Amino acid sequence: PDLAVFGAKDFQQQLVIRRLVADLNLPVAIRTVETVRAPDGLALSSRNRYLDPDQRRAATILSKALRLAAGAVAEGERRGDRVRQILRETIESESLARLDYAEVADAETLEPLDELMRGRRAVALLAVWIGTARLIDNAILSE
């Protein structure tokens, strides 16, 4: 193939593939498309089919956590540990959710960030178990 398309929801996967293509000098263009979301904010995923109605409602906690984290950054929060705390506490407020990880990382290297800096793209990354479904989502926090 000469083109591979990834959803932004699979941020880490597309970043690894993008780097692999560059390192191996493969003639493949990588395109990332926006995450498609349900009206309530849940990222669309084949894994959503494993959620019962209560779990489906609970799963919206991922997008809520990302919105709160992005809002804090937009209001001036720059401490990575504080943004991670917002993500964790929001997920933990939902009894049906079990946090796998909440990270704030450099959007190019995926290195965890102690501090968000202007001019350096940062991303919030979540993986959360709801029942038997492991759901992932992310949001760019700064450009």
Please tell me the number of Cα atoms within 13 Å of 143 on its side-chain side.
Answer: 0
- CATH (domain of 81): 3.30.1300.10
pTM: predicted TM-score of the whole model, two decimal places: 0.89
Q: How high is the pLDDT of residue 23?
A: 94
Expressed as residue numbers, the domain containing 113 is 38-142
Q: How high is the pLDDT of residue 13?
A: 87
Same domain, yes or no, for 29 and 98?
no
Beta strands (DSSP E) in 24-121 are 29-33, 97-106
- pLDDT per position as a tens digit, 48-58: 999 999 999 99
Q: How high is the pLDDT of residue 99?
A: 99
Same domain, yes or no, for 30 and 42?
no
Same domain, yes or no, for 25 and 73?
no
Closest CA to 98 of 139, 54, 130: 130
Same domain, yes or no, for 82 and 116?
yes
Same domain, yes or no, for 7 and 44?
no
Contact 113, 80 (CB under 8 A): yes
- pLDDT per position as a tens digit, 7-36: 888 888 888 998 999 999 999 999 999 999
Closest CA to 135 of 32, 58, 53: 58
Same domain, yes or no, for 3 and 59?
no
Model confidence band, residue 70 (pLDDT cutoffs 50, 70, 90): very high
pLDDT (mean) for 104-133: 95
Give me the number of domains the chain comprises.
Answer: 2
Let me know if 59 is exposed, middle or buried by CB neighbors in 10 A (0-12, 13-18, 19+).
buried
Q: How high is the pLDDT of residue 118?
A: 86
